[in-house]
Amino acid sequence: MYNVTMGKRLFVLAGSIFAAGFALVSSGRAVPTGYLFEPHEENEDSMPWVRAVPRYSVPPVQHRNGFVLHQVNVSASGLNIVGDAANEPSMTVDPNNPNKLAVGWRQFDSITSDFRQAGFGYSSNGGATWTFPGRIEPGVFRSDPVLSTNSAGDFYYLSLQDTFYCTLFKSTNGGGSYSSLGPAVGGDKQWYTVVHNANAGNGVMHQVWSTAGNNYSGRQYSRSTNEGATWSSPINIPDKIIWGTVDFGKNGELYLAGTSGTQFGLSFARSVNASTGASATWDYQRMIFTSADLAYGVSINPGGLSGQVWICSDRSNGPRSGYLYVLSTVGSSSGTDVYFSRSTNNGNTWSAPVRVNDDASAIAASNQHHHWFGTMACAPNGRLDAIWNDTREDPTNKTRSAVYYSYSLDGGLTWSANVPVTDTFNPLVGYPVQNKIGDYTALVADNAGSHAVFSATFNGEEDLYHVRLPAPAVTVSGTVNLSDSLGAPTGNPLAVQVRNASGALVQSTTATLGSTGGYSFALDPNLVHQSLTITVKASHWLAKAVTSSPIDLVGKSGVNYSLINGDVDGDNSITIFDYSALSAAFDSSVGDGNYNAEADLDGDGSITIFDYLILSSNFDLFGSDWS
C-alpha cells in the first residue's frame, strides 16, 4: 500500500525543486514529469469536524454579463451554511431528462478543518434550485468525487478512500440518495466514465488513476462490464499517463489524455476494444503537447493541480464526427494558459496547440497571470465549450480569479471572445489548512448550452455555484440562397426538405422569392451545427446540390444553390419521359385543353420550341449530379 508519510516527504521535496524544474522547461529541455511528487489526498485531520449549532446566511446573488449563479451546497431552506467548505465538484446529467443534475464534491464541515467527506447534491429543474442532503457516508474520509451516468439515467458516484482504494455508489432517484455497489479498485486522482451509446459497449465502465497513491504497482486502468459489481484486474497504461480524463467513441473506443508520466508534455492513448473485447488492449500512444505541460503547486492552488487534462470525442452526426479534442491548463509557477489541440484521425496525429484565453500569453515571461482549471465539454451537436478561472482582472497580486467562458463552433479552430461569468474571488481563503480549492471543476454540455459548477469564495468560505451557459444564438448561417440563371420560377413558394447525415427528415419548410430574384429560407437554428442535405422542389424546378456530400452550415453566411428546369413528369429526374410529356402538350397555350403548365418551362404561357431547348439543356443531368 502507498506510504502516506513518504508521500508527504516527496511533496515537500517537490516544493524545493519546483523552480529548478521549470527553468529546465523554459530552456526547451524535455524533463520527466514529477508525478512522484504530486499532492495526495491524505487524511491529515484524524476526526471529522463537529458543528454544534449550524448558522445560515443568504447566499450571495451573482449576475454578470447575463449569467446567474445559484449556490449548490445550501440548507433545506436554500440558505448558505456558514463556515463549511465545498470544492472539487464533479457533475452528471440525466441523458433522458436534462433537468435532472447531480453534483458530488469534497465536503468540509469547517473551512478550518482538512477532514473531507463525500458531499452530494441534486437539482430537478436544470440547476435553478438545489438540494444538499448531506454526505454519502457521514464521518468517513472521502475525496476525488467523479460522477457519471448510464443510458437509463442512473447516476454513479466514484469516491476515493484514504487507503487509495475507491468505492462506487449508485443513485436511481436523480441523485437524491446513493447506495454502495462495493469496492471499485482505483487509486489517487482517479477518473471514470460509463459508455452510453447504442452502437457498442453500452454500460461498460472505465476507470484510470495515478501511478502514485497506487496499490497496484503502478498499474492504472480497470473496467467493469456488470455495472460496477466487479472490476477487471488493473493493467498498465502506455506512457504512465496521469492527471487526465477519459471519453468513449461512437463504437465504444476508449480515449485517454493526461500528462505524460515519463517525459515532458501531454500524452494520449487509445483502445478500440476496451468496451467490446474480452480484455482491453492499447492500440497506440501519442504525444499531444511537447512544448508545455500541466502545472501543479502554483500560487493560486498551492496544494493541488492547475487543472486536469480534458478529452472529449465528437459523437455528433456532423462533419467532424469522430474528431478528438483535448484542452488543458499548461505552464509553470510563473504563469499558465488554457490550450487546445484536436485530432482528425482518431488520435494518430494532433494539431498545433491553440491558446483559448485571449489576453496575453501567461507562459511568456512578460505576463504572469494564471488561467487555471481549464475545463472543456463537447455538446452532442459538436459545439465545444470551455471555462476556466482567470486572474487577468487582478493586475497587482495576480491571484483573485473570475470564471471565464468561451466556445467554438468549428471544432476548436477558433474560439469566441472570452467572457467573464462571475465577479473575482480569492481562491486562497482556506489556505493553509485548505491548501487547495480542489483539482478540477465541472462542465457538461448539451445542444442548448452547458451546465457549469465550480468552487468560489464569495461567502468568505469555499462554496459551490452552478451557472447555465446558453448556447450562442446563430442566425445568418442558417440561410440558404436559391437562384436560377434562366429566370425565376412562377414566384410561388418552393418546397424545401432538410435531412440530416442519417437521411432522416428534420425540417420541412418553404423558400420564398426575394427582391433580387433568388429564393431563400431560414434553417431551424438547432440544425445549423450539423451536416445536412437540402432538396428543393417546385413544379418542374429542382435544386442542384452544392456538393455531393452533406453541407456543413457552421460559419457560412449562406450556401448557394442553383435551380434546374425540366422535370415535366414530376419524378425528380429529367429523362426521355419528360420529352414525351412535353411533346404531348406541344404547341398549346394557356386556356387550351392540351396545355400543361409543367411543360411550360420558360413560363411564357405556351409550349414551344423554347421549352424544348430548356429541357435539352438540362437533359439527363439529374441523378448522380443532382439531389
- Summarize pLDDT for 380-398 with one digit per residue, the tens: 988 999 999 999 999 998 9
Lowest mean pLDDT among 7-11, 399-403, 491-495: 7-11
Please report, rounded to a whole number, the percentage of residues in the chain having pLDDT higher than 70.
81
Looking at residue 604, its pLDDT comes to 85
460 and 492 housed in the same domain: no
299 and 368 housed in the same domain: yes
pLDDT class of 453 with cuts at 50, 70, 90: very high
Q: What's the CA gap between 328 and 310, in Å, rounded?
A: 6
Residue 481 counted as domain residue: yes
Q: What's the CA gap between 483 and 254, in Å, rounded?
A: 46
Residue 443 counted as domain residue: yes
Residues 6+ apart with CB under 8 A from 576: none
Residue 2 counted as domain residue: no
Q: Which residue has better confidence, 21 or 564? A: 564
128 and 190 housed in the same domain: yes
User: Which one of 416, 444, 470 terminates a domain?
Assistant: 470
589 and 549 housed in the same domain: no
CATH of the domain at 607: 1.10.1330.10
Residue 92 counted as domain residue: yes
pLDDT at 30 over 70: no
Looking at residue 5, its pLDDT comes to 28
Question: Is the four-CA dihedral 259, 265, 266, 268 of positive or negative sign?
Answer: negative
- Residue among 312, 302, 465, 455 nearest 385 (CA): 312
Residue 550 counted as domain residue: yes
Residue 5 counted as domain residue: no
pLDDT at 552 over 80: no
Q: How many domains are there within the chain?
A: 3
Radius of gyration of the chain (CA): 29
Q: Look at the block and give the residue holding cell 394557356.
A: 590
Lowest mean pLDDT among 52-56, 235-239, 527-531, 568-572: 527-531
For residues 440 and 375, is the Cβ–Cβ distance under 8 A?
A: yes
pLDDT class of 491 with cuts at 50, 70, 90: low
pLDDT at 326 over 90: yes
Residue 15 counted as domain residue: yes
118 and 245 housed in the same domain: yes
166 and 240 housed in the same domain: yes
User: Which one of 565, 599, 619 terminates a domain?
Assistant: 565
pLDDT at 220 over 70: yes
Q: What are phi and psi of 490, to 5 degrees?
A: -75, -10
pLDDT class of 21 with cuts at 50, 70, 90: very low
Cα torsion 340, 344, 349, 355 to 10°: value is -10
Q: What's the CA gap between 442 and 403, in Å, rounded?
A: 12
- Residue among 130, 176, 63, 78 nearest 453 (CA): 130
449 and 596 housed in the same domain: no
SS3 538: strand
Largest CA distance in the chain: 101
178 and 311 housed in the same domain: yes
SS3 140: coil
- Residue among 246, 229, 230, 115 nearest 179 (CA): 229
464 and 547 housed in the same domain: no
Region 348-361: mean pLDDT is 96
- Residue among 47, 31, 35, 46 nearest 7 (CA): 35
User: Which one of 440, 470, 500 terminates a domain?
Assistant: 470
* Cα–Cα separations (whole angstroms), residue 333 to 196, 289, 392, 402, 427: 39, 18, 16, 19, 16
Residues 6+ apart with CB under 8 A from 53: none
* Structural domain for 501, as ranges: 473-565
Looking at residue 529, its pLDDT comes to 61
pLDDT at 534 over 90: no
432 and 557 housed in the same domain: no
> What cell numbers appear for 261 in the block?
508520466
> Residue type at 224?
S
Q: What's the CA gap between 235 and 157, in Å, rounded?
A: 22
Residues 6+ apart with CB under 8 A from 552: 318, 319, 530, 531, 532
pLDDT at 528 over 80: no
pLDDT class of 487 with cuts at 50, 70, 90: very low
pLDDT at 624 over 50: no
Cis before 432? omega within 30: yes
**Number of residues that make up the chain:** 627
CATH of the domain at 509: 2.60.40
Q: Rounded to an integer, what is the distance from CA 553 to the centroid of its chain?
A: 20
430 and 545 housed in the same domain: no
How many other C-beta atoms lie within 10 A of the C-beta of residue 311?
Answer: 26
For residues 555 and 529, is the Cβ–Cβ distance under 8 A?
A: no
Looking at residue 550, its pLDDT comes to 57
For residues 194 and 238, is the Cβ–Cβ distance under 8 A?
A: no
Residue 575 counted as domain residue: yes
Of 167-171, 193-197, 476-480, which has the strongest mean pLDDT? 167-171
pLDDT class of 546 with cuts at 50, 70, 90: very low
41 and 126 housed in the same domain: yes
CATH of the domain at 249: 2.120.10.10
Predicted model pTM? 0.77
For residues 118 and 137, is the Cβ–Cβ distance under 8 A?
A: yes
Q: What are phi and psi of 583, to 5 degrees?
A: -60, -35
Strands 463-470 and 449-456: antiparallel
Region 216-229: mean pLDDT is 96
